[in-house]
Structure 1
Amino acid sequence: MTMKRAYMDHNATTPLRPEARAAVLRALDAIGNPSSVHMEGRAVRALVEGARAEVAALVGARPAEVIFTSGGTEAARLAFHAAKAAQGVERLIVSAIEHDAVLASAEACGLPVEIAPVDQDGQIDLAALGDLLAASDKRTLVAVMLANNETGVVQPIAEVSRLAKSTGAVFLCDAVQAAGKIAVDVSALGADMLMLGGHKIGAPMGVGALVVREDLPFAALAVGGGQERRRRAGSENISGIAGFGAAARIAQAELQTFAQLARLRDRMEAQIAEIAPDAVFPGQNVDRLPNTSCVAAPGLDAETLLMALDLDGIAVSAGAACSSGKIGRPRVLEAMGVDPDLSSGAIRVSLGWSSEPADTDRFVQSWIRVYTRVCAKTDALVNVNVTAGRATSRLAAVES
């Protein structure tokens, strides 16, 4: 009998929740365009608005502040466009650990982009951010994520917001990875705009949202019809939105249950550290998402490690899944100052609503097998070099 695979890449995408699947199927059976005024249209509109209220509740927003998008990437592009076109923003400050979708959207915006550094724990350097804000009197947008997708490190967003507001800057927060994993309240965070992605919380792929403070000027990027209060034209993804709403409702209800994943994560890290004392877990010393661990040890190669784990029936990643098909430069770990010998072998383990203790047990066993093989090869190489060195010394003594 084939052993069930251990899926441990929930930060890339988490499996579709049963409640979301049911909501999608109900929406697929619905007839009508939500922009139509007849009974069928009104029924579909009710589905959309019900989901909007559920997504808003997940992050403490008003339903009217939620703009549905195709995902977090579109939400980022929309936010930067609105900042430039409607909010008078002339420069951008983006943290060094932002997701590629945010960095690329910032660069595509056409405004100057400055990078705010992070400390060795992966948290934003508040003093450096303050200096960047004070360096210009131009209207600025600050983009800092709530939680990092690769290390799970949670950022001091309230302090970031306070710094931004003290200079009149607009604050954009990427909560794609944090929503549904920890409590999120857009008002408490002080974010002017907040990004969300459906498939990170158990909704289908292809749906997300941008939450925009109700009194903030806004300009649409996609124009045409009057959908989303003329903030994002185009026929709505009804089934995806319905699934997003259901997933948001369940994720909100199960936040305390999700928090228990930290025990599973911490046990996994302790088991690895016991066998591999030179292993490190970047971000371990500060607040992290309860489900996320970044694991590294000297001498390991991420690509080789991922292949070995995959053959053992374990799915993890080497960083952001949006760079899939290649294992590139570990930009987040470099920003944290992690030694290249460590970062080149770092992988991300991320648990989720369907994870089981057996998953982490299998991962630990498989990871340790690869680690032990690497150590054995290293020891053998050291012995060869030592033996060769002694032989060279003896030869030199004879020749002299």
Structure 2
Amino acid sequence: MQIQTTPYLDVAQLRADTPGCQDNLFMNSAGASLMPQPVVAAMMEYLQQETQVGGYEVERLRMGQIGRLYDETAQLLNTQLHNIGFAYSATDAYFRILSAIPFQEGDTILTTSNDYVSNQLAFLSMQQRLGIRLLRINDLPNGDLDLTHAEELIRKHHPVLVAITHIPTNSGLVLPAEEMGKLCRQYDVWYLLDVAQSVGQLPLDVNRLQADFLVATGRKFLRGPRNTGFLYVSDKALESGLAPLYIDRRAANWTGPDSYTLQTSARRFEPQEISLLSVGLAEAVRYTNQVGLEAIVQQNQQLMHQLRMGLEQIDGLVLLDRGTQQSNILTFHTIRQSVAALETALRRERVVFTIQYSNSAVIDFQRKRVDWLIRLSPHYFNTLDEINEVVDLLGQIIH
């Protein structure tokens, strides 16, 4: 008989590593989470050395430390080092990938209505400038993505690219990324998956996701510094020769006046300047790997169950998140208080959160018939006592 063990999470140590959670009720890991001390220490040490010998010399001396980013990220995604590249953000990675696909007028991009605003704006710009067609997959009545409709659109329109966001920034909804990957593989369509909100809170295995491209940011649930991110590029995409339209010096070797050779790995998508930022991101990914996604998921499930159960009991507060699977993002609206009054009251009590307005997710806001929402996104360093305190505060404010 095999004994099932519970993953151990030393919350006291995690909170000791996270000084910011001592002074605030921090509920904004979906925006920019709190960096743990080892991340800050690694960057400070690196920056201090730069003041002594300059950035290029530190980069030369610390190539091994910089290279840890690829090792740790490959471990996080269950892939190989050559499939990983650094980016300044998920959006930076996203744009580099879009520029690599040779779209022609009339080509179709298939996406969803639950997407990150910058991704949608990029599609709309491409629609105006390049003449591509943008189609969106329907949702089911419960909010889930309609995979039957997705397959119908793929079969009818033969899109060049299917692009979805695993967890939208404006909702706790988790889209069926693995199922979409199977469809894209079946119909031989390029598949781009934005995991900016899922990396660091959900296990991600690229072999199961079957994405050709995956983009992520460091500042959210990974708890890394801002202006960091990474991308995953599949062997299929690399072997096909895809590369960004604008190639930086890390991405290729200039071999002659009119020739160059690409990096064979995903580093062909990288920018030149990565050293200090990549050290911080590498440490953040290492920290996540050390804590362990299984333990993180278990802690987060407890936190979110407590938060949702508590807020559901508050008369006049409406939870907006839909779908079969939900994440560590919770959104709500109320007509009992103005958003300005809510913001003032919560910030006075040291709650750190995000307000979103309709221009961040036009389709979703129209569907939900609201023009603003408040987003709470706790993470594994939070405690049930903090969750209860936030619930009590909102109960007092919304009366």
Give the distance between the partners of 1:63 and 1:103, measured in 2 at CA.
Answer: 30
Query: Does 2:178 match 1:172?
Result: no
**Paired residue for 1:250?**
287
State the partner residue of 1:331. Answer: 362
Matches within 5 A, 1:157-306: 157-200=177-220, 201-216=222-237, 217-227=241-251, 229=263, 231-232=268-269, 234-254=271-291, 255-259=293-297, 260-276=299-315, 279-283=317-321, 286-289=324-327, 291-306=328-343
Contact 2:143 2:322 in 1 (8 A): no
Aligned to 1:385: none
User: Matched residues in 2 for 1:224 and 1:208: separation?
Assistant: 17
Shift of 1:42: 4.8
Query: Which stretch shifts more, 362-371 or 207-216?
Result: 362-371
Q: CA deviation at 1:329?
A: 6.4
Instruction: Please name the residue that 1:389 is paired with.
Output: none
1:20 corresponds to 2:39: yes
**Structure possessing the higher radius of gyration over alpha carbons:** 1
Q: Which amino acid aligns with 1:104?
A: L
- Alpha-carbon distance in structure 1 between the residues aligned to 2:54 and 2:269: 20
Alignment gaps of 5+ in structure 1: 320-325, 373-400
Q: C-alpha distance in 2, partners of 1:294/1:82? A: 35
The alignment partner of 1:122 has SS state of: coil
Tell me which amino acid in the other structure corresponds to 1:94: T
Contact between 1:89 and 1:140, CA under 8 Å: does it hold in 2? no
Query: 1:284 Cα shift?
Result: 5.4
Match of 1:9?
28
3-state secondary structure, aligned to 1:296? strand
Partners of 1:231 and 1:219 in 2: CA distance: 6
Residue 300 of structure 1 and its aligned partner are, at CA, apart by 4.7
Q: Which runs of 5+ in 2 are unaligned?
A: 1-21, 253-262
SS at match of 2:236: coil
- Cα 1:221–1:304 change in 2 (3 A) is farther
SS at match of 1:318: strand
The equivalent position to 1:83 in structure 2, one of 101, 126, 129, is 101
Q: Which residue of 2 aligns with 1:94?
A: 111
Q: CA deviation at 1:352?
A: 2.0
Distance 1:9 1:123 in 2: 24
Query: Cα offset for 1:119?
Result: 2.8
CA contact (8 A) 1:221 1:232 kept: no
Contact 2:225 2:280 in 1 (8 A): yes
Q: 1:99 to 1:214 in 2, by over 3 A?
A: same
User: Are the equivalent residues in 1 in contact too, given 2:317–2:398 (CA < 8 A)?
Assistant: no
Structure that is richer in strand per residue: 2
State the identity %: 18
The answer to whether the Cα contact below 8 Å between 1:24 and 1:239 also exists between their aligned partners in 2 is yes
Q: Which amino acid aligns with 1:203?
A: G
CA distance 1:234–1:269, change in 2 (3 Å): closer
C-alpha separation in 1, matches of 2:324 and 2:157: 31
**1:55 deviation in Å?**
1.5
Aligned counterpart for 2:66 among listed residues 44, 48, 54:
48
1:126-172 deviation per Cα after TM superposition (whole angstroms, max 9, x unaligned): 122122212224x5200112222232221111211122222221100
The answer on whether the counterparts of 2:163 and 2:191 sit within 8 Å (CA) in structure 1 is yes
